[in-house]
Amino acid sequence: MLLINCPYCGERDQSEFTNGGEAHVARPKDPDQVNDREWSEYVFVRANPKGIYYERWVHTHGCKKWFNAIRDTSTDEILKIYKMGETPPPIKRFKNTLRSPSGEPDVGSGNFTVKKP
Amino acid sequence: MSEHKIYFKFDGKTYGGNEGDTIAAALLRNNVKLVGRSFKYHRPRGIYTCGIEEPNALVQIINEHNEPNVRATVKKIYEGMVVKSQNRWPSLKRDLGSINNILSPIFSAGFYYKTFMGPKGFWKNVYEPLIRRTAGLGKPPREFKSKSIHLHHNVDIVIVGGGFSGLLAAKKLAATNYDVLLIEREDSLGGILKNAKKIESINDQDPSDWIEKTERLIQNSSNIKILKNTLVTTYNFNDHLIAVEDKSVGKPQDNEKPELVLHKIRTKRTILANGHIERFISFRNNDLPGVMLAASFEKYIQRYGVVPEESPVIFTNNSSTFSLVKSLVGLGHKPKAYVDVRDQKNIEKETVELLTNYNIPLYANSEIEGCEGKNNISEVSIRAKKNKIIKIKTSMLCVSGGFNPDIHLFTQSKGLLEWDETLLAFKPEKTFQNTITLGSVSGNFSYEKLVGEINKKLDFLEGINDLEIKLNINGPKRFQIKELWETKRAKKSLWSKSFIDLQNDVTTKDLKQAVLEGFNRIEHLKRFTTNSMGTDQGKISSINALGIVSRILKKKCFRSWNNHLQTTIRTVKFLSHRWKKYL
């Protein structure tokens, strides 16, 4: 269970929060004008990388406020938390260590080729 | 010792036990060795271990809830407790289901998958009800109304395990500014010091005096809290631990008070000092009542004051059984034989000396080929040098196949493991969280080096002093082991079985068959044979299964697997990456 530092309340257990998916996915300015493909990309397509990821969280059982986080999905380490409306820090600022728990390769789940880094 | 205080019933008969006895200890005190029937073949089964790793001695407690599959080696007795054996009809001694044992050649691995295919609807209406009646564990419990509560903790350091290393770590942290929680699974601190005669004296005191003194010191320091009867079950991200405290140890159920307390602990650092688990060796009929792990046998003597058998045969492939011999001869008993897989020149001179002094026959470079008996062992056969078979009459056999560091919590914390070729076991290599491993869980089986290890690993903490301790160790100082997973059978018979998973009745032959049928990935093999899928999760056997399978694979598919499998050990290592999450 993660420990998440809510920018309004402080450190709380993960069980108090809800994940809101990828952050900074821009809604098309004029939804009536986009075609189905562009609309479905906005609704469904997400980056889902193995590594550093922008995402949204909401403190459901607390202040109920939304905020953004930068998390390394391979280690579940939360690298930065910032409020809604703040400029997202560039991803380059964080070192992508890709240190995954069971020594998996950089890409894929590693079900077949388990090798230590 | 003869003062019986607590009376309980097992299968309708009343027995007496001492306060603090587990069901298993009390039954052994009354010389009851047959306690259950096995899952598939309904073979007679006895008490194999003395702790949470128990695969065989599962019983049903008849109370308000009818708790099934309770480990007799863990549950403590109370006055008026009613215990029943499981999976037998009409009685434990005469079980009709044991016809499965006679038919066993057709019930090999995958029998159910291949046989009960059709016709349509038969599975649900005919086969399943039929199989369910004969196979399985206890009867379902009645409705369970939990009165359990949960508590939250926020501390600086958690020490998991109040054994020797846990106590030393706690002693080091006493009277510092750290907020510490010491968690112990059993009802008293001390661990190995209480279970075995491995250490003669600490600082010129008896180990039990030292434990008492240290416990008092820990209790008097305001920064350490001790939780007993508490088992840490989960190690989550960000050093979040879940522990279950049993409040009803040695007491009947109370309808008003909570019987269990769930502790949710958030900590900054976790010290794992949860020790090791002994494993067995597969040989013919290695499941008969009367076969027991050597360290468990000694634990019954030292912790519970029960001598399950005064002259057992000891079978070992490592140096740890010295203390068992010492415990037995200390009480005036004498093992019938000491069978060691290692060569005479590799056996420590302390062991050889002790055996010669007490005139105990030593069979070096030998192994147990198998054992005979109906509801209990009556005879073991030893394959001595030059394939000579020697038969010895005995009613108990103590087996030691080495030790696995108890790495379950460490793997849950996502740490990486490595295979140690001298210990023949997995040990922690790299931590993923703020974890520190101490003692045998870190692969350090030497008591001499323990204090140095603790001083070194806890050195970075503020305001702590160096520990200094004078130990007087019994027996060999270095742990030494020779690889052996399965012994060779003298005769080949369809009915002879050497088990690899005692709870799910998986034999070593099933492993071979699974490989033969193409299930040579360890996950597939696990599911095809149901190996280590019981409630004990293969704690005493899964490394053995890896060892056996890797040997088969090396022989049969060496060429195609060449990239991965250079040596047996590397195979174990390779396969275990997939297996270790089940450990």
Q: Quick check: is B129 in a domain?
A: yes
The whole-number average pLDDT for the span B186-195 is 94
Taking any CB pair shorter than 8 Å as contact, residues of chain B touching chain A are 236-238, 240, 266, 414, 416, 432, 574, 577-578
Answer whether A116 sits within 8 Å of B416, measured CB to CB. Answer: yes
- How confident is the model at residue B124, as a pLDDT? 81
Nearest CA in chain B to A102: B416
Q: Which of B238, B266, B432 sits opposite A101 (nearest CB)?
A: B432
Q: How does strand B180-183 pair with strand B224-227?
A: parallel
- How confident is the model at residue A64, as a pLDDT? 96
pLDDT band at B459 (very low <50, low <70, confident <90, very high): very high
Q: A1: distance to nearest CA of chain B, Å?
A: 5
pLDDT tens for B262-292 read 999 999 999 999 999 999 999 999 999 999 9
User: Which residues of chain B does A102 touch, with a Cβ-Cβ cutoff of 8 Å?
Assistant: 414, 416, 577
- How confident is the model at residue B419, as a pLDDT? 86
CB B274 within 8 A of CB B441: yes
- Nearest C-alpha neighbor of B161 from the set B232, B224, B237: B232
Nearest CA in chain B to A78: B238
Nearest CA in chain A to B415: A101
Nearest CA in chain A to B580: A102
CB B533 within 8 A of CB B510: no
Answer whether A101 sits within 8 Å of B414, measured CB to CB. Answer: yes
CB B229 within 8 A of CB B186: yes
User: Which residues of chain A does B416 touch, with a Cβ-Cβ cutoff of 8 Å?
Assistant: 101-103, 116
Q: Which of B238, B432, B574 sits opposite A3 (nearest CB)?
A: B238
Give the total number of structural domains in chain B: 4
CB B85 within 8 A of CB B375: no
Q: Same structural domain for residues B437 and B504?
A: no
In this predicted structure, the answer to whether residue B9 has a pLDDT above a threshold of 90 is: yes
Q: What is the largest CA-CA distance in chain A?
A: 50
3-class SS at B211? Answer: helix
Looking up residue B177, the CATH number of its domain turns out to be: 3.50.50.60
* Most confident region among B225-229, B385-389, B404-408 by mean pLDDT: B225-229
- How confident is the model at residue B206, as a pLDDT? 95
- How confident is the model at residue B460, as a pLDDT? 93
Q: Quick check: is B143 in a domain?
A: no
Answer whether A2 sits within 8 Å of B238, measured CB to CB. Answer: yes
Q: Same structural domain for residues B309 and B396?
A: yes
User: Which residue type is seen at B36?
Assistant: G
Rounded Cα–Cα distance for residues B438 and B508 (Å): 34
Q: B521: distance to nearest CA of chain A, Å?
A: 10
In this predicted structure, the answer to whether residue B467 has a pLDDT above a threshold of 70 is: yes
Q: Same structural domain for residues B16 and B110?
A: yes
Q: Quick check: is B477 in a domain?
A: no
Residue that is written with structure tokens 């112990």 in the block: B184
- How confident is the model at residue B63, as a pLDDT? 87
Residue B181 vs residues B216, B249, B407, B573: alpha-carbon distances, Å: 15, 21, 20, 34
Q: Same structural domain for residues B505 and B546?
A: yes
User: Which residues of chain B does A75 touch, with a Cβ-Cβ cutoff of 8 Å?
Assistant: 432
User: Which residue type is seen at B354?
Assistant: L
Nearest CA in chain A to B581: A102
In this predicted structure, the answer to whether residue B436 has a pLDDT above a threshold of 70 is: yes
- How confident is the model at residue B252, as a pLDDT? 86
ipTM of the complex: 0.81
- Nearest C-alpha neighbor of B267 from the set B149, B183, B179, B166: B179
Answer whether B578 sits within 8 Å of A1, measured CB to CB. Answer: no
pLDDT tens for B323-350 read 999 999 999 999 999 999 999 999 999 9
Q: Which run of H or of E encompasses B352? A: helix B349-357
CB proximity list for B88: less than 8 A, separation 6 or greater: B36, B37, B42, B95, B97
Nearest CA in chain B to A1: B237
pLDDT band at B438 (very low <50, low <70, confident <90, very high): very high
Query: Number of helices and strands (H, E) in chain B?
Result: 17, 30
Q: Quick check: is B489 in a domain?
A: no
Q: Quick check: is B557 in a domain?
A: yes
Q: Which of A2, A13, A102 sits opposite B577 (nearest CB)?
A: A102
Q: B430: distance to nearest CA of chain A, Å?
A: 10
What percent of chain B shows pLDDT beyond 90?
65
CB B211 within 8 A of CB B201: no
CB B502 within 8 A of CB B539: no
Answer whether B237 sits within 8 Å of A2, measured CB to CB. Answer: yes
**Other C-beta atoms lying within 10 Å of the C-beta of residue A32:** 5
Structure tokens at B342: 């290692």
Q: Quick check: is B480 in a domain?
A: no
Q: A87: distance to nearest CA of chain B, Å?
A: 27
- Nearest C-alpha neighbor of A55 from the set A75, A74, A80: A80
Rounded Cα–Cα distance for residues B458 and B436 (Å): 8
Q: Quick check: is B312 in a domain?
A: yes
Q: Identify the segments of chain A with pLDDT beneath 70.
A: 96-117
In this predicted structure, the answer to whether residue B491 has a pLDDT above a threshold of 60 is: yes
In this structure, of B81-95, B298-312, B315-329, B378-392, the range with the lowest mean pLDDT score is B81-95
Among B401, B420, B447, give the residue marking a domain's end: B401
Nearest CA in chain A to B522: A112
Bridge partners (DSSP) of residue B16 are B7
CB A32 within 8 A of CB A25: no
Q: Same structural domain for residues B99 and B153?
A: no
Structure tokens at B75: 């549950």
User: Which residues of chain A does B240 touch, with a Cβ-Cβ cutoff of 8 Å?
Assistant: 1, 3, 13
The whole-number average pLDDT for the span B364-374 is 94
Q: Same structural domain for residues B536 and B453?
A: no
Sheet with B389-393, side-by-side order of all strands? B367-373, B377-383, B389-393
Answer whether B237 sits within 8 Å of A103, measured CB to CB. Answer: no
Give Cα B332 distance to the centre of its chain: 27
Q: Same structural domain for residues B197 and B224?
A: yes
User: Which residues of chain A does B266 touch, with a Cβ-Cβ cutoff of 8 Å?
Assistant: 3, 13
Among B347, B373, B401, give the residue marking a domain's end: B401
Answer whether B238 sits within 8 Å of A1, measured CB to CB. Answer: yes
User: Which residues of chain A does B574 touch, with a Cβ-Cβ cutoff of 8 Å?
Assistant: 114
In this predicted structure, the answer to whether residue B383 has a pLDDT above a threshold of 80 is: yes
Q: Which of B237, B266, B416 sits opposite A103 (nearest CB)?
A: B416
In this predicted structure, the answer to whether residue B569 has a pLDDT above a threshold of 80 is: no
Q: What is the 3-state secondary structure (H, E, C) of A27-89?
A: CCCCCCCCCHHHHHHHHHCCCCCCCEEEEEEECCCCCCCEEEEEEECCCCEEEEEEECCCCCC
Q: Quick check: is B448 in a domain?
A: yes
- Nearest C-alpha neighbor of A62 from the set A1, A2, A14: A14
What are the backbone dihedrals phi and psi of residue B477, each rounded to the nearest 5 degrees, phi first? -85, -30
Domain span at B548: 499-582
Bridge partners (DSSP) of residue B37 are B44
Answer whether A13 sits within 8 Å of B266, measured CB to CB. Answer: yes
- How confident is the model at residue B514, as a pLDDT? 92
Answer whether B577 sits within 8 Å of A76, measured CB to CB. Answer: no
CB proximity list for A32: less than 8 A, separation 6 or greater: none
User: Which residues of chain A does B582 touch, with a Cβ-Cβ cutoff of 8 Å?
Assistant: none
What percent of chain B shows pLDDT beyond 70?
94
Looking up residue B23, the CATH number of its domain turns out to be: 3.10.20.440
Let me know if A76 is exposed, middle or buried by CB neighbors in 10 A (0-12, 13-18, 19+). middle
Among B378, B401, B424, give the residue marking a domain's end: B401
Q: Same structural domain for residues B285 and B272?
A: no
Chains A–B, number of C-beta pairs less than 8 Å apart: 26
CB B286 within 8 A of CB B501: no
Does the domain formed by A3-93 have CATH 3.40.50.300?
Answer: no
